[in-house]
Amino acid sequence: MKSASAVKAVLFDLDGTLIDTAPDMAAALNHTLLQEGMPTLPLETIRPYVSRGGLALILLAFEQHRSEAEIEPLRLRFLDYYLHHIAEHSRLFEGYEAVLETLEQRSIAWGVVTNKPAWLTDPLMAALNLSQRSAITISGDTTAQRKPHPLPLITAAQAIGVPCEQCLYVGDDRRDIQAGKSAHMTTVIAQYGYIVDDSDLDSWHADQLITHPTQLLDLI
């Protein structure tokens, strides 16, 4: 694994990397299940799928119980409930407030590159008072491509005026690492994030792996 040298910017995936959104996403999914007269799922069952988005969560809960035609209406209801309860329990992962403060003190720009659509990303960032602190926020519908395509990361680097080679990208999904590598950024797996137990992390070929957010400080 290569080391992160001369890091001028740190970019984060959102769900499962920078913010622990699983409690609110799980609450929205379980609300939808209850509306359909079905038993709820425990957080530990839902958590590994959160980074994969709303459709993956709906399929987790309903694929064996509802027809294909019923899936999209369920997804829309799930997302509507989630939007109206988007930050009731979501928080920065433990340690990240200190990490962000350190980056800001060292004049190292930080930002977010997520596949979450802007109509969900923006209110979540605002609710946690992160909007003004983030140098750039790229959502899933900001650019013409989404991760694993590198365009969102390249766009973020260009916006903050830092070469991709001097950016570090942190994520908890294989798509994050694929996008980061294609953009020639130093890639970091957030092992504490929403990763399924059977993931072969070595096969992601990331440059670094952290088990706690504060370990990022050792890379800059």
Over the chain (220 residues), what is each successive 10-residue block's mean pLDDT? 73 98 98 96 95 92 90 96 97 98 97 97 98 97 97 98 98 96 98 86 96 96
pTM: 0.93
Helices 68-83 & 22-35 angle (0-180, nearest 10): 130
Distance in angstroms (rounded) separating the CA atoms of residues 154 and 104: 21
Using N-to-C axis directions, what is the helix angle for 118-127 and 68-83, rounded to 10°?
30
Q: What distance in Å separates the CA atoms of residue 182 and residue 120, rounded to the nearest whole number? A: 26
pLDDT recorded at residue 1:
47
φ/ψ of residue 99, rounded to 5: -65, -50
Q: Per the structure block, which two tokens stand in for 165?
A: 């080679």
What is the C-alpha separation between 118 and 126, in angstroms, rounded?
Answer: 12
* Residues in contact with 41: Cβ distance below 8 Å, sequence separation at least 6, in sequence order: 26, 29, 30, 33, 60, 61
Residue 69 φ then ψ, to 5°: -65, -25
Q: Is residue 168 within 8 Å of residue 188, measured between CB atoms?
A: yes
CA–CA dist 32, 29 (Å, integer): 5
Q: What is d(CA 38, CA 124) in angstroms, rounded to the nearest whole number?
A: 28
Residue 109 is predicted with a pLDDT of: 98
Task: Output the pLDDT for position 64.
Answer: 87
Instruction: Show the DSSP H helices in the chain as ranges.
Output: 22-35, 43-46, 54-62, 68-83, 96-105, 118-127, 151-160, 174-182
d(CA 76, CA 87): 18
Q: How far is the C-alpha of 124 from the C-alpha of 77, rounded, in Å?
A: 18
CA distances to 31, 34, 35, 62, 172 from 39, rounded to whole Å, are 10, 6, 10, 11, 28
Name residue, tokens 């973020």: 156
SS3 at position 86: coil
For residue 196, the tally of other CB atoms under 10 A from its CB is 11
User: Annotated catalytic sites, by residue?
Assistant: 13
